[in-house]
Chains A and B, each alone.
Chain A
């Protein structure tokens, strides 16, 4: 029995070992995308080069990065100092993950009815691969922010901005490729996505407010009934 479990375990490990090529997945392919975004993202769509577990790892990395960013950002860039600083990690994680879900859902709902050929999984992976350079650049900025003075703050800020710009660029290119859109169509799609994101936020807020009303109503009815009975 134990031997069987061992065998099974080893075989699973071997499968993983064969499927997970760390060098290929974490260095070669992401940097291939950075250097040749159009070819790289079409590889993601047609050659199955993109890995789902990498995308999930990037999300986890983003969570970690945002936590460290809150915690260790240099005084000059953060603008304020606290002794024994604490970070609300749960809040930071939520604030990292919710925008991703929001964007992916919004983009999928727009493109699904507008002849986009990207799947939800692909949209998510494009988002993750586009975030990869952002994490790298912002991380450099984060380290630098601890070693700069006010005059040099722009230097550290530059890396943060570069991360943001590169993220937007790769996201745009990736979406163009996976949805097979022309330039004008994709600009329109981006605008629509933003609008849909707003609508989703609005509806969720509305839902929460109204559900609160319903809950209060049910609770009062129950209370009333228990009083009467």
Chain B
């Protein structure tokens, strides 16, 4: 009896041990989520597999929300308390646990009830006022904090667009002062900036047309008739926008092929997005891609959504290959994950991406009419924490997190740069230099190397001066002796 009990206990403990082992593992190597990181070698950037930074939690569809459908889900917005889901004909409002709070399908304006048509973009201000774009009716709906209609912003007064072009607001963002930024269809002058009172202020952040010399050459050769019939060279439009805590507008450029597809616009409308100085590679989604495309679509990433969190970490969504890319505020890529497919954690037609709280990420998928919920695992949380500490200039804490990241993924080169930065602050320049070498960062390597060289020069400065003085003395003594000898010979 006693023996049996011991044996049972042994089996149970073994099973528990094994389970705990698997559970611990599972926390990082999340399912089959495709994830990679760009690794720099002598032939440029190449993708290498990386652990997924997110675990797939669940997929929220109409049934879970107890509503009819999420047909044509086009945008989501996460405010401090609620999640807003913009669909075809309604706006669904839930709390952060996806319990339905309200389903807006119509509103009463001036005593008349109006149906909501398709909602393509939304923004919620800090005091829970909702702005929603309704492109088919050419207007932006402004709801109060109790979700009753407050005003309807039609085509803004004073805007200059041709008569035959309809004003179709697609995406909207509102800054802390109440200025409204709109991405509108068929408007190539940039973002439309509207005053808080609804009047047109200006066009903002124009995407310039750039010509290559070859294009200009061919255009010179064309006749006027040919020129009239060939395609217009229009500047590309923006596809989505968001605003960070400091009222900087982040926008993604529609279509692919632009040099700077992600832009951070300052008050003047200039792009001030930072990128690594060492390599000069601008944040743009995939760096290596199919040129001809057999099963994976070819060409550069097409970015269609962007969201930025409190500490400047931003994610962009590539609709072309259904991938999500994250960058820190210095423009270094942190992770890339996701792929298209019909499995639960894959995307059929992702349209929007938003952070929820500290460690959740929501992806709106129009193809499966659902919202995919992802949660940071140990690996991803370490990356986020490291970036957070770094933005707070807390380099020592950041170094601990970067070291954890390296433990999970030794191929993550930016983590070495992070560790190096902390060591550099401490004054341990030699180790910092070695880390910068591993991180392949020429810029920071130079900073560390300069310090090392300076220290070296200071250390041996006395020696150099001593040798120099000695040499001068030797030469002069030699000359004097030679002269003396010469004189002696002359006398002789």
Contacts from A to B (Cβ < 8 Å): 75-76, 78-82, 147, 149-151
| Measured CA separation A151–B447 after assembly (Å) | 10
Q: Which of B21-29, B196-204, B220-228, B435-443 contacts A (4 or more CB under 8 A)?
A: B435-443
| Nearest A residue to B450, CB-CB | A149
| Closest CB in chain B relative to A158 CB, distance in Å | 17
| Measured CA separation A81–B444 after assembly (Å) | 13
List of B residues within 8 angstroms of A79 by Cβ = 42, 442
A75, B445: Cβ atoms closer than 8 Å: yes
Q: Identify which of B41, B446, B447 gathers the most chain A CB atoms within 10 Å of its CB.
A: B446
List of A residues within 8 angstroms of B112 by Cβ = none
Task: Given A75-B437, A147-B453, decide whether A80 and B446 contact each other with a Cβ distance below 8 A.
Answer: no
Contacts from B to A (Cβ < 8 Å): 40-42, 278, 437-438, 440, 442-443, 445-447, 449-450, 453
Contact residue among A76, A78, A81, A82 (Cβ-Cβ distance under 8 Å from B446): A76
Contact residue among A76, A82, A149, A151 (Cβ-Cβ distance under 8 Å from B42): A82
List of A residues within 8 angstroms of B278 by Cβ = 150
The 4 residue pairs across chains A and B that have the minimum distance between CB atoms: A149-B446, A150-B446, A81-B437, A80-B42
B40, A76: Cβ atoms closer than 8 Å: no
List of A residues within 8 angstroms of B40 by Cβ = 80
A75, B442: Cβ atoms closer than 8 Å: yes
| Nearest B residue to A79, CB-CB | B442
B443, A150: Cβ atoms closer than 8 Å: yes
Instruction: Jot down 19 A-B pairs with beta carbons below 8 A, ordered by A.
Output: A75-B442, A75-B445, A76-B445, A76-B449, A78-B42, A79-B42, A79-B442, A80-B440, A81-B437, A81-B438, A81-B440, A82-B41, A82-B42, A149-B446, A149-B447, A149-B449, A149-B450, A150-B278, A150-B442
Tell me what chain A mostly uses at the interface: helix, strand, loop, or mixed.
loop
B41, A80: Cβ atoms closer than 8 Å: yes
List of B residues within 8 angstroms of A81 by Cβ = 437-438, 440
| Closest CB in chain B relative to A38 CB, distance in Å | 38
| Closest CB in chain A relative to B233 CB, distance in Å | 35
List of A residues within 8 angstroms of B450 by Cβ = 149
| Closest CB in chain B relative to A153 CB, distance in Å | 8
List of A residues within 8 angstroms of B447 by Cβ = 149
List of A residues within 8 angstroms of B442 by Cβ = 75-76, 79, 150
| Nearest B residue to A151, CB-CB | B446
| Nearest A residue to B44, CB-CB | A80
| Nearest B residue to A146, CB-CB | B449
| Measured CA separation A150–B443 after assembly (Å) | 6
| Nearest B residue to A81, CB-CB | B437
| Closest CB in chain A relative to B432 CB, distance in Å | 14
| Nearest B residue to A85, CB-CB | B42
| Closest CB in chain B relative to A150 CB, distance in Å | 4
| Nearest A residue to B448, CB-CB | A149
| Measured CA separation A79–B40 after assembly (Å) | 10
| Measured CA separation A82–B438 after assembly (Å) | 8
| Measured CA separation A149–B445 after assembly (Å) | 8
| Closest CB in chain A relative to B226 CB, distance in Å | 34
| Measured CA separation A76–B438 after assembly (Å) | 13
| Measured CA separation A80–B443 after assembly (Å) | 12
List of B residues within 8 angstroms of A76 by Cβ = 442, 445-446, 449
| Measured CA separation A149–B436 after assembly (Å) | 13
| Measured CA separation A80–B41 after assembly (Å) | 6
List of B residues within 8 angstroms of A151 by Cβ = 446
